[in-house]
Structure 1
Amino acid sequence: MKRPIFKSPSVRQAGFTLVELMVGVLVGLLATLMIAKILGLAEGQRRSSTSGSDAQVSGGLAIYSLERQLKMAGYGLTVEGAALGCNLSARFNGAAPADLPPTLAPVLITAGANGAPDTIRMLSSSKTSFAVPAKLTAPYYDPTDVVGDKARRLALTSSLGMTLNDLLVLVYQDTVPAAAQRDCQVFQISADPGLKEVARQTGGAWNPIGFPDRAAAEGAFVVNLGLLNDVTISRTDDYKLRQTTRLLRSQTTTTQDLQPNIVNLKAFYGKDTNADDVVDTFDTTTPNSTAGWLQVRAVRIALLARSGQFEKDEVTAAAPSWDVGTFATVSGSTTCGTSKCVALKADVTEDWRHYRYKVFELLVPLRNQLWRADFSPAASAPSVPASL
């Protein structure tokens, strides 16, 4: 008897074919490519926005640091206008000190050549109590006096604010005929000051024999430097704003990098050339007389900051410019539409067009110039509106 044979129904296979699998992989790859491209664009836009913000922050903080230093410029040095711009000299261990300022002035601007960054040097007394000048009285200082004590002490109208080891500047009386600038020489207080006198004993680093080397007379006075704060703001070769602080008395120097990505620094003296108490000229010409220094009322600054992000495409078509307006004459400015502009050199590298730039400007009145004891407003100065 034959065993019956049962045929099982065929089982249908389920799944992807090779073609379907390849199509799915292709669609996934295209989706991944599109997502990566979108993310890349978004990240590029984010970096561009962030780098612009970085330039804004760096420039803003840099201009703030400059403003703080400029507001202190001239403190204790410009109380008497006759001291402004005097020819400064000193002896430290028998030789002229390194980097001694050539003149006693609140601000000294060194213009960069061919559009290079300028350098700003600011001087002020380090005294935190009083830094007031004092006139010499008889018997007047005389370095050749070997019988009396004219070479060892200076009689003054007051020694207010003066302490042992302070550096004083002896500003000589005006010459006859009057010179464009007076001479002034540095010495150090050798003992605790009396009520109306200070001692200058020969010896120590700042008091060599016979220095100050000229006899004083009526009209001479002293200015209290303390340590003398000597602050220089400059731009480094790696595009950082740098502050260099020198203390004259100790002959020490400290350096601090304030902000990165600073491409250019431009500074002008603001001068009142017609004595109406209104600044009418901005230039980089350092005055060579006391009368010229009395015209300097403010400092005007422009800072060019650069983004830290290098852009693949050129994003800056032309060099940035500083709109200086038309209210005063500005040296080196050219017409730009209805205003005046000063070009700011940005092509410090070959790829400079691949960065974004921001211009910051600042106008700082030299308040210590305006607070002089001999300052008097011009009769023709603009009056304050009655509504103010």
Structure 2
Amino acid sequence: MKSVNHTHRRPLQTGFSLVEVSVGLLIGLLCTLVIATVLSSAEGQRRGTTQGSDAQVSGSLALYSIQRELLMAGYGFASEAPALGCSLQASFGGVAAAQMPAVLAPVLITQGAAGASDQLRVISSSKFIDPRPATLSTVGYTIPSRIIGPHYDPNAVGGVQPKTSYNVFSSISIRQGDLMVAVIGANQPCGMFQVTGVPGAQVVPRADDQAGWNAAKHPAQATVDGAFLVNLGRMVDIIYSVDANRRLLAAALDTSNLSRNSVELQGNIVMFKAMYGRSAAGNGVVDTYDYTTPSNNAEWQNVLAVRIAVLARSSQFEKDEVTPAVPQWDVGTTGTVADAATCGASKCVAMDISSQSDWKHYRYKLFDTIVPLRNQRWKS
């Protein structure tokens, strides 16, 4: 008899071994890491592009806002050469109005200390022609008014020399409440007062008002032949600056109470520079840009433009240092520019932002322009 082998084979096991599972997990983790890295890089590039575009928009709008106001600088008085640079004497509430500019000038530039942003002060008359017909008679425009005799004299006694009015050749465009400046002549002090009544055809009333602009015997200068009045209306006096939070601000003076109302124009502005553009030869050709404030009438007449630069920064913090050196303001080779140094074939002004933390981890865009002071060029 043949014996029968009853040994049974064990069935084969199915599934993955520990090694295979470990390899699969490793491959999956590597794929996840690669995908996350690619997505992170793509997102960073997208944000960098978007924020860079935002910086360009902010810089462009900031430059436009300043440029638009600069084009009106000096409106109402800069066309009259003797008015430029006169020492402005203004009193409000019986005391000297320190908030008013020291001189009557279209622009006043204060250079920032140790590379900080500059301040630009723009001054003009608020009297303009509104395009809406209904307001033409109330807004008006401004033209100088030649003073005639009998002349204003703050120390007059009796009615021979008036001290409560100015006699003018014409009071056209002058309204009650307007701020007027009496200009005696070049390099002479000029006094500000407010029109206190309805002007006559050739009379501008000026009554004492100790609580307002008309302190007793103010303006202190008696008028003479050749003197004239300029009409500032409510007066436009705006200071442009950059604060510690990298915002471009415009602070407008309210002449009703001498307070300033500050408005944020644009964010992510890290530097603002402004220079006087002057004709050193006095021939009407701008050949010098600097921060030196003119000291007399002749020097003010040679200030024909303002050169400005706005440095905008993206809000995207970059992990790597994407800006190895401080941005440079390329000012070209034409004319003389303060603080300019040779950079290749051109000349540049350093926009020193090194005092700001992490400045190398952001991207920057610089915008600049030269704005002609057209009211300066339209001298009578």
- Which one of 162, 177, 198 corresponds to residue 174 of structure 2? 162
Task: Write out aligned runs for 1:255-270 (5 A).
Answer: 255-270=262-277
Q: Please state if 1:201 is matched with 2:207.
A: yes
SS at match of 2:289: strand
| 1:12 to partner: Cα distance | 6.2
Q: Which amino acid aligns with 2:106?
A: P
Q: Which runs of 5+ in 2 are unaligned?
A: 1-6, 129-139
Could you tell me how far apart the structure 2 residues matched to 1:173 and 1:53 are?
51
> Contact 1:263/1:348 (CA < 8 Å) preserved in 2?
no
Could you tell me how far apart the structure 2 residues matched to 1:348 and 1:305 are?
16
| 1:334 to partner: Cα distance | 1.3
What corresponds to 2:154 in structure 1?
Answer: 143
| 1:173 to partner: Cα distance | 3.5
| 1:62 to partner: Cα distance | 0.8
| 1:248 to partner: Cα distance | 2.3
Q: Which amino acid aligns with 2:276?
A: Y
| 1:293 to partner: Cα distance | 0.6
Task: Write out aligned runs for 1:81-160 (5 A).
Answer: 81-128=81-128, 129-148=140-159, 150-160=162-172
Could you tell me how far apart the structure 1 residues matched to 2:176 and 2:311 are?
44
- Which one of 301, 304, 320 corresponds to residue 297 of structure 1? 304
> Contact 1:239/1:263 (CA < 8 Å) preserved in 2?
yes
Which shows bigger deviation, 268-277 or 101-110? 268-277
What corresponds to 1:50 in structure 2?
Answer: 50
| 1:28 to partner: Cα distance | 1.8
| 1:152 to partner: Cα distance | 1.0
What corresponds to 1:3 in structure 2?
Answer: none
TM-score (norm 2): 0.91
Could you tell me how far apart the structure 1 residues matched to 2:192 and 2:357 are?
48
What corresponds to 1:362 in structure 2?
Answer: 369
Question: Deviation string for 1:299-332 (max 9, x for gaps)?
Answer: 0011111121111111111111111111111111
Question: Deviation string for 1:93-134 (max 9, x for gaps)?
Answer: 101124110010100001112221110000011112211111
Question: Deviation string for 1:189-217 (max 9, x for gaps)?
Answer: 11100011111111251111111122111
TM-score (norm 1): 0.89
- Which one of 229, 233, 237 corresponds to residue 226 of structure 1? 233
SS at match of 2:176: coil
SS at match of 1:52: helix
> Contact 2:79/2:377 (CA < 8 Å) preserved in 1?
no
What corresponds to 2:4 in structure 1?
Answer: none
SS at match of 2:192: strand
SS at match of 2:65: helix
- Which one of 287, 290, 308 corresponds to residue 294 of structure 2? 287
Q: Please state if 1:187 is matched with 2:198.
A: no
Q: Which amino acid aligns with 1:337?
A: G
| 1:342 to partner: Cα distance | 1.0
Q: Please state if 1:315 is matched with 2:322.
A: yes
Could you tell me how far apart the structure 2 residues matched to 1:115 and 1:60 are?
22
SS at match of 2:315: coil
SS at match of 2:91: coil
What corresponds to 1:34 in structure 2?
Answer: 34
Could you tell me how far apart the structure 1 residues matched to 2:69 and 2:222 are?
35
SS at match of 1:34: helix
Change (3 A) 1:251 1:200: same
Change (3 A) 1:226 1:250: farther
Q: Which amino acid aligns with 2:91?
A: R
Could you tell me how far apart the structure 1 residues matched to 2:247 and 2:44 are?
25
Could you tell me how far apart the structure 2 residues matched to 1:362 and 1:253 are?
27
SS at match of 1:114: helix
Q: Which amino acid aligns with 2:193?
A: F
The alignment-based identity, stated in percent, is 48
SS at match of 2:95: coil
Which shows bigger deviation, 300-309 or 161-170? 300-309
Question: Deviation string for 1:74-103 (max 9, x for gaps)?
Answer: 111212111001000111110112411001
Q: Which amino acid aligns with 2:103?
A: T
Question: Deviation string for 1:346-374 (max 9, x for gaps)?
Answer: 213232111111111111001111122x2
| 1:250 to partner: Cα distance | 4.0
> Contact 2:175/2:198 (CA < 8 Å) preserved in 1?
yes
Q: Which amino acid aligns with 2:107?
A: V
SS at match of 1:298: strand
SS at match of 2:356: coil
Change (3 A) 1:249 1:224: farther
> Contact 1:231/1:245 (CA < 8 Å) preserved in 2?
yes
Q: CA RMSD in A?
A: 1.9
Change (3 A) 1:218 1:192: same
Change (3 A) 1:15 1:115: same
Could you tell me how far apart the structure 2 residues matched to 1:26 and 1:101 are?
73
| 1:13 to partner: Cα distance | 5.8
**Paired residues, what number?**
362
> Contact 2:82/2:185 (CA < 8 Å) preserved in 1?
no
| 1:14 to partner: Cα distance | 4.3
| 1:22 to partner: Cα distance | 3.2
